[in-house]
Structure 1
Amino acid sequence: MPQTRDFSEDAIAVVGMSCRLPGAANPAAFWALLASGTSAVGAAPADRCGPDAPPGGFLDDVAGFDAAFFGISPREAIAMDPQQRLMLELAWEALEDARLAPDQLAGRPAAVYVGAIQDDYAQLAGRVPATAFTLTGLHRSIVANRISYTLGLTGPSVVVDSGQSSALVAVHQACESLRAGTVSLALAGGVNLILEPGSTARVGEFGGLSPDGTARVFDARANGYVRGEGGGLVVLKRLADAVADGDDISCVILGGAVNNDGGGAGLTVPDGDGQADVIRRAHRQAGTDPAHVGYVELHGTGTPVGDPVEAGALGATIGVHRPADAPLAVGSAKTNVGHLEGAAGLVGLLKLALSARHGQIPASLNFSTVNPRIDLAALNLRVQSALGAWPADAAGEGDALAGLSSFGMGGTNAHLVVGRAPRPTTDRADRPDQAYTAPWVLSGQSPAALRAQAATLR
């Protein structure tokens, strides 16, 4: 059952979701992949990543786009970065999932925050003549602005680039806009598409990729991260508004924080003190006690250097407060779909939202022997190695809280504190006492689109 603890007036509700991830075209498919312990990592497309690229998490289609649906000409659509196209579609789907009519939001001061750090399409577009649509089609800011323009949203419209923490920083900024009363509705998420071989080559030269394409988070065999692509968005409201509107709430964001390591052994070397600080700051903003956290969705890249640093920070901030017989559970969706880089934090939030809804925590894959540099017992941590129930609060106060971390390679860290949705105070009066049959109405802007909708439903 959902937890019974009260949430503060600053809590933010997740009321809608959308995603396009490796092996998962929507949130329901993503949950099925997570719950079954499936990895969507596979061979890299040679035409996009080069013939010698290691395996990763890839989408089946990065070119498909229904331009006519959004009133965009074929010529402009070709000039658009596929990341713009994908996020337009995901914005529409997320709003529909929130039971909001996207075409009826024009003029509303709703915010759009999107994490995006790659410009692969700009590298490809440089090989063809420029057109009147090239500048807007390739400008990264337009990934968010295109959504606001198409839907007529008048709130902040911002692309966030803080490295690999971009999507979670975008979510945090959206929550701050809602708390400040600047907007009453926000879309937040991230996108990462791997579109040209040089992109993977540059990441490979950095030295962090797993040569065999397997993310082994906290494991002794950890040898690097696995690239992944896709995107996703969440629809956010203040919790009080969501409850008043009768929204279907997936989870609640109680608070969060963003900081930077501010130094350390090197520009791209993770710093344990900085990671511990952002966790403490997040709990101070949320007004929560780290002792009530039962699970943390890790940044969890599976690198020999990063994993021990992250484990140490968690042990010092959360593990130390938990009973010895109830260690903090940790895991990473990067073992399922790869590291979506600028969109990675959104993948983690989707996993937590779906886990909260289903009351279960999926397994973190590829774990057998702990990294010898990580003393799980001393840190009071355990890797979630099988599908299990959402943990109970160690103090007996209903369900435990959860945490979510995302770290940029330049030291910008983000952490959120997440809780399960509150139990409804009254039963829904519009629910029938007995089952009945009703038609499922579909619509599309063309016969082909209608057929596609029917095929998707089937």
Structure 2
Amino acid sequence: WKGEGLGQINAEKGSFLKDIDLFDHVEFGISSRDARAMAPATRKLIELCFLALLDSGIDYRKENIGCYMSANSINLSNVSNPDAYEPRGSFAGGPSMVANRVSNHLDLLGPSVPVDTACSSSQTAMHLAVQGILNGDCKAAVVGGCQINHSLVDWITYSQAKVLSTDGKCKPFDASADGFGRAEGGVVVVIKPLEDALRDRDGIYATILGTSTNSTGSGGPPGAPVAEAQSQAMMVAFDRANRKPVDVDYVELHATGTAKGDPTEVSWVGQHFQRPRELLIGSVKGNIGYFNIQNRDRELI
């Protein structure tokens, strides 16, 4: 399986979660039938959302709490022995269930929105959640993403596209960077209006001042970095936050360690964030790898 040819993978290593098969379905009132059919990423999101809401201290059951989730909803029949995978008529494994199962089992009454925009999925989910709160669709929201890399086809696809690092490591901004190392993980955050959080004396880890999202249109191939589109989205977010790039002390970049992506992003950041004093930049992928679909929530934390 190791190699550069068709059907082969050029990377030897990745970062993986342990015990992804363990799930206490009884705790969440989920039948064994649904638990077997449910994507591992959906199971993880249910667990993480429960823990995040518990940490937030807010009352959430039967409340207008939004749920905006992103995950790779792997069809378990593709990665399991047919005798071990028996859905028996359950719809728990569908892509729409990534968010709906969280809302259902935690009894959240707000919008329940699954999001898949590839590497920007969790960032898009956060933007939609912020807009949902501002528009009055929900009074608070859980936002999260989970990446599980057990689809062999995905590994082969990334390898054939020549974006995988051969040693399985992300090396952002480094001369030796040769692609990204795939990683697994999950992140969930709870957001609500700042004035409500202050009134309720909630623990506040950070404040979101502004968000934005856009598309490159025909400016480049799908998935290719386009500096103009990236910088436009950033500047819209700054305008909404009533801030300027010069106010920033640190910029967390998407940088994954690819030959095209890193220079493109660093270049436009350097242009827009010009300042007399030092500007720090970084990418957490060098520490824990590239999580694909829930990439941006991890960087937020």
Alignment TM-score > 0.5, same fold? yes
Return the offset for 1:75. 2.8
Deviations 1:404-448 (A, max 9, x none): xxxxxxxxxxxxxxxxxxxxxxxxxxxxxxxxxxxxxxxxxxxxx
Of 157, 160, 165 in structure 2, the residue corresponding to residue 205 of structure 1 is 160
Cα–Cα, structure 1 residues 122 and 176, in superposed 2: closer, same or farther, change >3 Å? farther
Confirm whether residue 231 of structure 1 aligns to residue 186 of structure 2: yes
Return the offset for 1:60. 1.4
Of 33, 39, 47 in structure 2, the residue corresponding to residue 81 of structure 1 is 39
- Superposed, which structure 2 residues align to 1:30-45 within 5 Å? none
| Separation in structure 1 between the aligned mates of residue 177 and residue 119 of structure 2, nearest angstrom | 19
Return the offset for 1:99. 1.7
Deviations 1:193-242 (A, max 9, x none): 11232221222122111011221111111110110111110000100000
Cα–Cα, structure 1 residues 280 and 60, in superposed 2: closer, same or farther, change >3 Å? same
- Identity among equivalent positions (%) equals 35
Return the offset for 1:278. 0.8
Supply the AA of the counterpart residue of 1:58: F
- Superposed, which structure 2 residues align to 1:183-332 within 5 Å? 183-318=138-273, 320=274, 322-323=275-276, 326-332=277-283
Supply the AA of the counterpart residue of 2:248: V
The alignment's C-alpha RMSD in Å is 1.9
Supply the AA of the counterpart residue of 2:148: L
Are the counterparts in 1 of residues 73 and 94 from structure 2 also a CA contact under 8 Å?
A: no
Structure 2: stretches of 5+ with no match in the other structure: 1-7
Cα–Cα, structure 1 residues 339 and 349, in superposed 2: closer, same or farther, change >3 Å? same
Cα–Cα, structure 1 residues 292 and 51, in superposed 2: closer, same or farther, change >3 Å? closer
Per the normalisation by structure 1, the TM-score is 0.61
Confirm whether residue 57 of structure 1 aligns to residue 15 of structure 2: yes
Are the counterparts in 1 of residues 42 and 73 from structure 2 also a CA contact under 8 Å?
A: no
Of 132, 144, 147 in structure 1, the residue corresponding to residue 88 of structure 2 is 132
| Separation in structure 1 between the aligned mates of residue 33 and residue 67 of structure 2, nearest angstrom | 26
Supply the AA of the counterpart residue of 2:226: D
Secondary structure at the aligned position of 1:111 is classed as strand
Per the normalisation by structure 2, the TM-score is 0.92
Secondary structure at the aligned position of 2:192 is classed as strand
| Separation in structure 1 between the aligned mates of residue 129 and residue 263 of structure 2, nearest angstrom | 31
| Separation in structure 1 between the aligned mates of residue 77 and residue 133 of structure 2, nearest angstrom | 33
| Separation in structure 2 between the aligned mates of residue 162 and residue 150 of structure 1, nearest angstrom | 25
| Separation in structure 2 between the aligned mates of residue 133 and residue 204 of structure 1, nearest angstrom | 35
Of 120, 131, 138 in structure 2, the residue corresponding to residue 165 of structure 1 is 120
| Separation in structure 1 between the aligned mates of residue 213 and residue 156 of structure 2, nearest angstrom | 30
Return the offset for 1:261. 1.3
> Which structure has the larger Rg over C-alpha atoms?
1
Are the counterparts in 2 of residues 120 and 199 from structure 1 also a CA contact under 8 Å?
A: no
Return the offset for 1:54. 2.6
Higher strand share: 1
